[in-house]
Amino acid sequence: MTAPSIPTLELSTGYQIPQFGFGTYKIAPEDCVDAVRYALDLGIRHIDTAQMYHNEAEVGRAIEESGIPRQEIFLTSKLNNDKHLPRDARDSFRQSLEDLRTDYVDLFLIHWPLPTRYDGDFVQTWRTLLEFQYDEKARTVGVSNFQIHHLERLISETGVTPAVNQVEIHPQFANNEVRKFHREHGILTEAWSPLARGRVLGEEKVVAAAKRLGKTPAQVVLRWGIERGDVLFPKSVNPDRIKENLDIFDFQLDERSKVDLDSLDKGEDGRTGSHPDTMDIL
């Protein structure tokens, strides 16, 4: 497979982010090195991990062993839920850099707002992340799983708009109101669980579109996300699946497919993960 030309998008900080990456959620440490190495071998240059995933060390090892210059890879990690207090955030960020074998990350996110924890003060956590950006240890900082009212509070209380919000998005949960707010405020949308953990792949309209376009259901769904302008990072430890997921840059959806996939949105009933307003696991 010839490495595709993966488009990049511009962040509000001026940096470029590859629109397609490789996710490492729930990839066990013993599988992570090989999976990340294979993704990099295919030409993927955007790797997404998190303190919560417990595989930062393996991601760092894979990047180092790949021989690819660090500056050619866009690397993201996220703050763990039990590290929101400023001192804890600073200590854990230093540990992330050490585990990832790097002097900086390209993007660092608050993983969850946790409005029912820490007296609901995720604003102080955001101010701490801004320190990392000012120190150039994180080239860009942002958030993950933030609702519109969470974002509004960050902006109003600090005057600084997150460059990125990483949220659940797929055809069954299009999250359009959050995406609209992002567009209006210059926030880049990253879509986690872009395949709805496989749940969307059996949808009749997805299967029909795949047959019509000569692609797999997963490729059709991922292409839907790309054409909407979101950043995607599907994950897998299966080499064939990793290759399949990447093979989405040689076709476009026809109008019927776009309408059909848009029609699958179930609103909140389509959400597969926790709700940001109630998620409080440390």
Q: What is the mean pLDDT of residues 45-53?
A: 98
Q: Does 243 map to a domain?
A: no
Task: Find, among 149, 151, 150, 191, the residue nearest to 172 by Cα.
Answer: 191
Q: Kindly tell me if the per-residue pLDDT of 270 is higher than 90.
A: yes
Q: Does 36 map to a domain?
A: yes
Q: Which of 53, 104, 118, 134 is catalytic?
A: 53
Count of domains for the chain: 1
CB atoms within 10 A of CB 122: 21
Q: How far apart are CA 61 and CA 44, in angstroms?
A: 16
Q: Does 8 map to a domain?
A: no
* pLDDT tens figures, 75-117: 999 999 999 999 999 999 999 999 999 999 999 999 999 999 9
The tokens describing 107, both together, are: 């993007």
Predicted confidence at residue 282, as pLDDT, reads 87
53 classed as catalytic = yes
Range of the domain at 72: 14-196+229-236
Predicted confidence at residue 37, as pLDDT, reads 98
The tokens describing 23, both together, are: 């996710």
Q: Does 176 map to a domain?
A: yes
Alpha helices for 192-277 (secondary structure H): 204-213, 217-227, 239-246, 255-262
Q: Kindly tell me if the per-residue pLDDT of 258 is higher than 90.
A: yes
CATH of the domain at 141: 3.20.20.100
**133 band by pLDDT with thresholds 50, 70 and 90:** very high
Q: Kindly tell me if the per-residue pLDDT of 177 is higher than 70.
A: yes
Q: Does 155 map to a domain?
A: yes
Predicted confidence at residue 147, as pLDDT, reads 98
Q: Does 41 map to a domain?
A: yes
Predicted confidence at residue 1, as pLDDT, reads 62
Q: Does 275 map to a domain?
A: no
Q: Does 123 map to a domain?
A: yes
The tokens describing 196, both together, are: 């709805």
* pLDDT tens figures, 32-43: 999 999 999 999
- Find out whether 38 and 238 touch, Cβ atoms under 8 Å: no
Q: Kindly tell me if the per-residue pLDDT of 3 is higher than 80.
A: no
Residue 194: phi and psi, rounded to 5, are: -65, -15
